[in-house]
Every structure is written in C-alpha cells, then in structure tokens.
C-alpha cells in the first residue's frame, strides 16, 4: 500500500524531516551565538510550540476535514494533555524556599500538608505521559458515546462540544471543588501550573532539553502525518470520508456510523492530548485560558486557512497563522482579533480550499493572463497555427 499520493509528497516529507530533525537542532547546538547560522534556543522552543499547534490542527482536520465533524472542543483535549503532564512537572520543582515543602505553591498557600491522593500518581513520569494521552481519550469516549448514540450532528454537535469546553474551563478556573461535602483542590486556578524546573531529571530550561523537546514534537507530527496518510488508504478511511459526504447513505449500507465516529473522535482527542503534553514544557506553563472556546475557534481558522481535508494544509495553516499572531501581538496587539476574523472571512469567501488549494485555484486565472498576453489576444497555440 502506497502511503504517499505522489513522489513530490514523499520527497517533501523526507526533506521536512531532515530539516526539522537534523538541520535546525544542529544549527542550535553546533553554531555559536552571533553566527549567521545560529538558531537560538528561544527560536527552537518557539518552533516547537508551532509544531505542537500543527499536530493539534491535524487532529481537528481528521475530524472536520475527513469525517465532517466540526468539533469545537479540540483545544480542551489539548489542554487536558498539557495539564496531565504539567502535574508531573510541577511536582518536580523541588522544595519551596518560602514554605519549605515539596508541594506546589498553590497547595501550600491553601494550607495543605500532604499531596492529595489523586495527585500522587503524577509524581511518576511514565504515568503522567500515559495520562496525558488517556485522559483526553476517556473524556472524548464518554462524551462521544452519549452524543453519537443520540445522533447529534451538524451545528448541534459543534454547539454541544463548545458547551463542554466552556463547562470544563470554568471548572479548571476554580481553586477548589466542593463535592459531597468534601473539598478537593484542583489545578492552580487562574494561575495554573508553571515555574517548572526539571523533566525526567534534566533541566527543562536548558538548551539541550529544549532541542530534545523540539525533536520529540517533530517526531509526533511526522508520525501523525503518516498515520493519517495510511488511514486514508484503508477501508476505515474510505468509510470515514463517506460519512462526511453522506452519513445516511453509509448507515443504510449497513455500517455503524456511531462506532466509526466515536473511534475517530477518541483517537483525535488522544493525539491532541499528546501534543499538549509536549507543548507545556516548551512554553513553561499551562492555565485554563488554553481551553477557552476562543482557542478552539483558532484551531478552526488554522485548518480552514491551510486547507481543510488535506494532509499538509493544517500544518501550514497552524504555522502561518501562529507566526502572524506572534508578529501582530507585538506590532498591533489590539488589532489581532480583527485580523484573525478578516483571515477567516477572506478564506471562506475567496480561498475555499485554503493555502494549499491556491495553485489549483489560480491556475485558470494564470492561463487567461498568459493567453491575453499573446499577440492579438489569442492563445500561443492558436496564434502559431
């Protein structure tokens, strides 16, 4: 089975892997600061963040672009993965200088003297890694089972996923949860989890660690790309796209669309959670602002702008829009939301196939321009006959 559609896609994949896995880390490690070839640790961590955003966009594209499910809670799964791994990171900060305990500062501040039982397993790194993938998957499975069995779809599915995001965002903003007469401390409230010191025994802020986190993010992106490319060639992928085009016809053909949608919804949540786990040590913190409904709408813009229903489009859209955001938040911070809205409107009206579809979209226009530039306004073939 051929995973890649064309030779250009294959060689493009290999070239991207070489540049991202070998060239950029080497330029950071082996060229001194001040050299024209040096890539700073800040740029490595920044591009690592962009790569995790690209994985998040790919997970939404698998739902929206290939299955027709416009999910507005993908940033929630991303944040759940980030929180799960952030719990491990915050438990390895060390002894606090003020309270003189190894507990997170927000627990010390509220008078806790020992770690709550539901926090204790996250001291173990492998458990935190597993939880970063499993927790978003379990939430997606439980929520999706209720939604898909009720045959909620279309705009109603989008609304209810946004409602889930908003509900859990409010929960994570709280410092404590009162339940059955007991008070449970949560995840740092407004401040969230931050001030990380080490990851698996290494200094999380060192240049070497940031390089390895960047490499891990790129590996995840490449593996997700290969997974999506492979699935699209299988029977599952064909049914997945048929559900997008006509779910009723697929159901009448004897397929359980509920099972297909539940599986892809769960897997995409797990992918988003893995991206979140790699995001949090590279940016240095996580709070409930990362799971606001607006964050999920950002992901929708990335996918639409790059090219919905394409393999490379979400990656391109996530990186380009994120770079634009970084620039405009410095140059014109009050105008960014207006610019983002303009990008989405322009995409819907004039670029329905996104950036990756522009060459094909502009090909007839370019052909007309070439024809009109021929002598007498005739095409080159006609004028030569």
pLDDT in tens, 354-370: 999 888 888 887 888 87
Closest CA to 5 of 220, 218, 232: 232
Position 383 in a domain: no
User: Is the pLDDT score of 374 beyond 80?
Assistant: no
User: Is the pLDDT score of 385 beyond 50?
Assistant: no
pLDDT in tens, 295-335: 999 999 999 999 999 999 999 999 999 999 999 988 888 88
Position 10 in a domain: no
In this structure, the dihedral spanned by the alpha carbons of residues 246, 248, 253 and 257, taken in order and rounded to 10 degrees, is 90
Position 145 in a domain: yes
Where in the sequence is the domain holding 86, given as residue range(s)?
16-326
Position 147 in a domain: yes
pLDDT band at residue 377 under the 50/70/90 scheme: low
Residue-level pLDDT at 218: 97
Counting residues of the chain whose pLDDT is more than 70, the rounded percentage is: 97
pLDDT in tens, 57-114: 999 999 999 999 999 999 999 999 999 999 999 999 888 777 778 888 888 888 788 8
Domains in the chain, number: 1
Position 196 in a domain: yes
| pTM for this predicted structure | 0.92
> Is 136 in contact with 272 (CB distance < 8 Å)?
yes
Place of tokens 């990008």: 343
DSSP for residue 193: E
Residue-level pLDDT at 375: 63
Counting residues of the chain whose pLDDT is more than 90, the rounded percentage is: 66
Position 306 in a domain: yes
């Amino acid at each position: 089975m051929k995973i890649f559609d064309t030779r250009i896609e294959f060689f493009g994949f290999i070239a991207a892997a070489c540049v991202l896995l070998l060239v950029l880390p080497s330029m950071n490690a082996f060229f001194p600061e001040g050299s024209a070839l040096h890539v700073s640790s800040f740029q490595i961590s920044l591009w690592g963040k962009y790569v995790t955003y690209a994985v998040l966009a790919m997970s939404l594209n698998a739902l929206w672009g290939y299955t027709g499910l416009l999910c507005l809670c993908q940033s929630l799964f991303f944040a759940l993965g980030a929180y799960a791994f952030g719990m491990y990171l915050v438990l390895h900060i060390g002894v606090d200088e003020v309270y003189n305990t190894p507990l997170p500062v927000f627990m010390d501040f509220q008078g806790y003297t020992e770690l709550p039982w539901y926090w204790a397993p996250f001291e173990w790194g492998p458990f935190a890694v597993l939880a970063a993938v499993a927790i978003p998957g379990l939430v997606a499975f439980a929520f999706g089972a209720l939604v898909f069995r009720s045959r909620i779809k279309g705009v109603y599915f989008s609304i209810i996923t946004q409602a889930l995001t908003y509900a859990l965002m409010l929960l994570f903003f709280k410092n404590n949860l009162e339940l059955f007469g007991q008070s449970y401390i949560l995840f740092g409230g407004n401040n969230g989890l931050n001030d990380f010191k080490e990851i698996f025994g290494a200094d999380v802020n060192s240049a070497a660690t940031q390089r390895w986190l960047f490499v891990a993010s790129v590996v995840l992106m490449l593996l997700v790309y290969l997974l999506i490319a492979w699935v699209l060639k299988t029977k599952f992928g064909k049914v997945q796209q048929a559900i997008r085009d006509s779910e009723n016809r697929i159901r009448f053909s004897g397929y359980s669309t509920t099972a297909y949608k539940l599986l892809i919804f769960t897997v995409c949540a797990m992918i988003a959670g893995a991206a979140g786990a790699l995001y949090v040590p590279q940016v240095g913190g996580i709070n409930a602002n990362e799971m606001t409904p607006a964050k999920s709408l950002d992901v929708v813009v990335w996918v639409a702008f790059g090219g919905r229903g394409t393999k490379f489009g979400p990656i391109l859209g996530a990186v380009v829009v994120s770079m634009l955001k970084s620039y405009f938040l410095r140059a014109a911070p009050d105008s960014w939301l207006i610019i983002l809205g303009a990008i989405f409107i322009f995409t819907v009206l004039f670029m329905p196939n996104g950036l990756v579809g522009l060459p094909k979209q502009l090909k007839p226009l370019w052909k007309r321009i070439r024809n009109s530039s021929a002598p007498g306004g005739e095409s080159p073939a006609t004028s030569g006959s």
